[in-house]
Structure 1
């Protein structure tokens, strides 16, 4: 989800009005929260308890954690969409939710970039890379990337504030850090563009360039040296690039178009908001499926683990339901 959740151009609107875009965004976010929480938690359980500790599983374990961080903010975002632009959760949650959304975005993008570099090294430098890379070192890299995501997201802990306007609480960015909302509007626009440029460069353009270069060069090497007759590697490479592009392009377009007020019609921004919500939901729920089944043996282990869980729940429910019957039978026998 976008960190700039409030567009002040719509402050005057009736926030109790239920619009189609509000309903669509709210439903998408709540469905994604429920589905994503279950599926990603199950993924974490399989990766942690059912599979061996190796480099691949470490990358994906930390990737799923970043997806879960984004998912935890979705119920609050859904409520916010329905009461837009009124914020009902207070200052602390205003800062925290937007921070978690930003941190989840950066963490996800950085993990996907690390996975693409890992694939590149395995193809072009397999022996030396396997010799020096292990699960412990990949965990350290993930922690460093998490620290970088924390650093990139930290400005929103400072600039996010509550403004009172017409009996409404607005969770918006205060670039003055002092509550002086109308101080030097031109300077505020410059700060907005600087933050957007940094966000677009570090959170999208540079990672997209690295991911594309890594996977395209891998595809050329596989094709040139006839490393495999299967077309599965090409499908995986295509899915990796396309899913990244689909997931994050609408978000950055919407965020950039909303930097300056009045440049675009509200209907255009509303449509982009729905598209952005769809892409974020796709990224949080379905992208993990695309990436996790690339992991060796994960599909087999996942199916076996999922079946064992359902069997355990079913057997327990069967035993519980049969207990009253067995008691009644015993009572009848005693009579």
Structure 2
């Protein structure tokens, strides 16, 4: 366990998504504060359980049971990012359950925040690559057939992890611990000091970090993904290639779920930079909940694989079979009419969505 600060933090100078205002640290917190804290603990706990089990199954099946195709590599890295985050999620559960009292030292305070941001960046970058991959398959099938391979996929994933770590590195610099009414909190100390004189610089750094995270981790990926899938859908409808919509539903559901989980988080993070201009209750009650909801995205993908991989209402397949079916590239075959297999380009068309 790392060392802790020997100074007390004036919370009015710092806002952060992992705890609420000074009212949280009172000996007798209000019922509303207790309710927010309870809901956050429930969301974190369910996320941790489902995330470890679900992503663990996905990783195990891919490593030991499935052929390593390009799409499987994308799914493996998505599951790895989510699983890594869920391994450390019990720290957040304990922190929240103890009324935002951090017991794990300054080093783990930094690592815990790093993993949340790393999970966000790696997931959204991988979803963007998946979208570009499918776009190229549809628009440039011949080029894709000649250049698309597992080695390139692994190199792309390595680049994603490296870029994600770089973008998440502000957590290692600015995350800190400090005392507030006998509670040791884990917070963002953007001014790198407890002195009010350094507050203007801290505000500028806070704004820069938040805007960068919003643009790079949300706006740009969402724009690229939207353009890719609009082109894909238009092209498939025009060429009448799609026979079944199930494989497309899996990918679209993963993307929509990601952005629905993370959108409230980014909105309140932006509002946090202007905290003097908005009601205190918005941040006090909103930030803990939207952070928990954002974290819950790390358990969503395996659930979507199971429910959308096959016809869920028939209940004829085991969970493992559903996972394998959803992850397998063979599901793409149902999206292409059989008559197209006789054409010279059938093998590239056959892979246009999920291969």
TM-score by length of 2: 0.76
8 Å Cα contact 1:50-1:301 kept in structure 2: no
The offset of 1:130, in angstroms, is: 2.3
Question: Aligned ranges for residues 141-290 of structure 1 at < 5 Å?
Answer: 141-177=156-192, 179-232=193-246, 235-236=249-250, 238-269=252-283, 270-271=285-286, 273-281=288-296, 283-290=297-304
8 Å Cα contact 1:59-1:142 kept in structure 2: yes
What's the counterpart of residue 10 of structure 1?
A: 22
Structure 1 residues 166 and 155: CA distance shift in structure 2, 3 A = same
The alignment's C-alpha RMSD in Å is 2.9
Summarize deviations over 1:24-76 as a string: whole Å, max 9, x none.
11011111111210111010011111111111111111111111122123211
The offset of 1:268, in angstroms, is: 2.5
Structure 2 CA distance for aligned equivalents of residues 41 and 105 of structure 1: 19
Structure 2 CA distance for aligned equivalents of residues 139 and 250 of structure 1: 32
Structure 1: unaligned runs, 5 residues or longer: 308-335
What's the counterpart of residue 21 of structure 1?
A: 36
Structure 1 CA distance for aligned equivalents of residues 300 and 122 of structure 2: 17
The offset of 1:105, in angstroms, is: 1.1
8 Å Cα contact 1:254-1:273 kept in structure 2: no
Aligned pairs, number = 301
What's the counterpart of residue 140 of structure 1?
A: 155
Does 2:102 align with 1:90? no
Question: Aligned ranges for residues 67-86 of structure 1 at < 5 Å?
Answer: 67-86=82-101
Question: Which of 50, 62, 65 is the aligned partner of 1:47?
Answer: 62
Structure of greater Rg: 1
8 Å Cα contact 1:94-1:160 kept in structure 2: yes
Structure 2 CA distance for aligned equivalents of residues 5 and 35 of structure 1: 23
Does 2:79 align with 1:64? yes
What's the counterpart of residue 118 of structure 1?
A: 133
TM-score by length of 1: 0.80
Summarize deviations over 1:141-172 as a string: whole Å, max 9, x none.
10111000010111110111112233222212
Structure 1 residues 260 and 88: CA distance shift in structure 2, 3 A = farther
Structure 2 CA distance for aligned equivalents of residues 78 and 181 of structure 1: 31
Structure 2 CA distance for aligned equivalents of residues 210 and 261 of structure 1: 31
SS at 1:130 equivalent: helix
Structure 2: unaligned runs, 5 residues or longer: 1-14, 311-315, 325-355
